[in-house]
Structure 1
């Protein structure tokens, strides 16, 4: 049946049975015979033909649109299956953030490389906006909302923020208990891409007014400042997990939920919207989801 549809589509597109027979390298009589079988199966004439001309019937016009789509869908299905069978290989270009990228993604890359030795990695560590097309970047890992419909964002991890300080700083300055107390403390802010503000998360975001602050453009900079008793920091939990466990830092105001930007603080892998995702990108995304969970 598929071969008959291919013959029919080609007859329509070339307007010539002889050309169709040449394309498929079969006798014109075979093309004519298969077309007749198709018409018999459908119970309708698709093409009026004589020795020199062919013309689509009304039924032929209508059937062609469906026949063409069937073959397109079949070709797409074959490509998908073939893609699944391919061994991931080639250069995978990544862009990761200074904070999450260095602390969480980079340490996982040797394990990924060991699992997929034919995939080479090129990593840019940056906070700037990356143009995936212009810069030939396969995957960008960032936090927050995605607004570009030409891309796909798949969530990799949550990105919970906590308010913390060193024990020494709290001993010298006291522990804040309420939002209004924060005006009396030095607050260490992450001042990149509009994330310098602090918000209290509830039914709606409530901006927190901060009067005394130090602003730094990397999460690691925040971490070093708070470890050296520089004040209170609103910082991702992943960045200070070990320091909280060993007592170098203390979480304060645990009953409050904070964030430095919009409600969506999750970490996403962002890539271009395509009909097919290349094997190297697909296995990398699967790897991250498995290992970050």
Structure 2
């Protein structure tokens, strides 16, 4: 029997001044209530109730204990009601950490829709390329791209990191168009300087590292895109970052018959969260929202 249940029995007996009436109200046997009251007194090492054949009264210690016991049980009931209310109306502060490129390109456009749907959830967003510690930094969800290291965290796959080689029509008109992956070393290549994304691989049965010309390097996916749009060269960039530009023709996909990656393998973007038996409603609804609203980016539509 938990201490809270004993306190509930104790409070009910005090308020009804009768074990038999309390047993009827709580729908338990009088003997069970008597045993729990005796166990509570034994645990405290003090008598709480003066019992006679006709009545039950509080001792001086019992009066003091009842002041606290009543408040504890009342606050616990209020806490349960508050938690139950959250299930139907999630609220609180949701702390998110995400990579800059994916956050700005994919998540940010969705946030206003989420806040309209869940107005009682406040969102704090950190855009960063560093790997955050969810526990130490009190982060509810981290969104990371790339290959995940082994951990005790739970990961939910959001999208494939399909990479494309592309450039602006104006750059290609001036400098020509690469016909094979080997041709890329003759062009100005805009490299992403984030650790692990610096190299370009042709993904075949045996991945092959490509030779590319040293030149521009930038630590931002969106920075890469701006350089592309301003005719700075060719870049290997995630499809989700340039989907709209490819659709309207401001960028052109090159060598679409090949598969490229900054790694020796393909990768994805994930939502990472703590392994908890009971997921907070604010976290659960955001994860569900992402699954329902993130554009389907797994398939690249080649646009000539």
Fold match (TM-score > 0.5): yes
Partner residue in 2 for 1:253: 255
- Counterpart CA distance in 2 for 1:29 and 1:287 is 48
Structure 1: gaps (5+ residues) = 1-5, 8-23, 33-77
Q: Residues 210 and 278 from structure 1, CA distance in 2 versus in 1: closer, same or farther, beyond 3 angstroms?
A: same
- Counterpart CA distance in 1 for 2:128 and 2:200 is 23
Partner residue in 1 for 2:217: 215
Q: Deviations over 1:209-253 (max 9, x none)?
A: 223331100011111111111111111112222222222211110
Partner residue in 1 for 2:16: none
- Counterpart CA distance in 2 for 1:86 and 1:132 is 26
Q: Deviations over 1:141-168 (max 9, x none)?
A: 1112222422111011122111011112
CA RMSD of aligned residues (A): 2.7
Partner residue in 2 for 1:10: none
Contact 1:83 1:278 (8 Å CA) reproduced:
no
Contact 1:94 1:123 (8 Å CA) reproduced:
yes
Partner residue in 2 for 1:226: 228
Q: Is 1:185 the counterpart of 2:199 in the alignment? A: no
TM-score normalised by length of structure 2 = 0.68
- Counterpart CA distance in 2 for 1:261 and 1:29 is 66
Partner residue in 1 for 2:158: 156
- Counterpart CA distance in 1 for 2:176 and 2:32 is 95
Q: Is 1:290 the counterpart of 2:292 in the alignment? A: yes
TM-score normalised by length of structure 1 = 0.71
Partner residue in 1 for 2:23: none
Partner residue in 1 for 2:204: 202
Question: Number of matched residues?
Answer: 227
- Counterpart CA distance in 1 for 2:251 and 2:270 is 27
Q: Residues 196 and 250 from structure 1, CA distance in 2 versus in 1: closer, same or farther, beyond 3 angstroms?
A: same
Partner residue in 2 for 1:119: 121
* 3-state SS of paired residue (1:275): coil
- Counterpart CA distance in 1 for 2:119 and 2:210 is 48
- Counterpart CA distance in 2 for 1:167 and 1:219 is 20
* 3-state SS of paired residue (2:216): strand
- Counterpart CA distance in 2 for 1:219 and 1:289 is 23
Q: Residues 260 and 152 from structure 1, CA distance in 2 versus in 1: closer, same or farther, beyond 3 angstroms?
A: same
* 3-state SS of paired residue (2:174): helix
Q: Deviations over 1:90-148 (max 9, x none)?
A: 00000122111012101111110111111110011111111111110100111122224
Structure 2: gaps (5+ residues) = 3-25, 36-79, 296-304
Partner residue in 2 for 1:140: 142
Q: 2:245 aligns with which of 240, 243, 246?
A: 243
Q: 1:88 aligns with which of 87, 90, 100?
A: 90
Partner residue in 1 for 2:130: 128
- Counterpart CA distance in 2 for 1:246 and 1:29 is 75
- Counterpart CA distance in 2 for 1:159 and 1:130 is 20
Contact 1:144 1:262 (8 Å CA) reproduced:
no
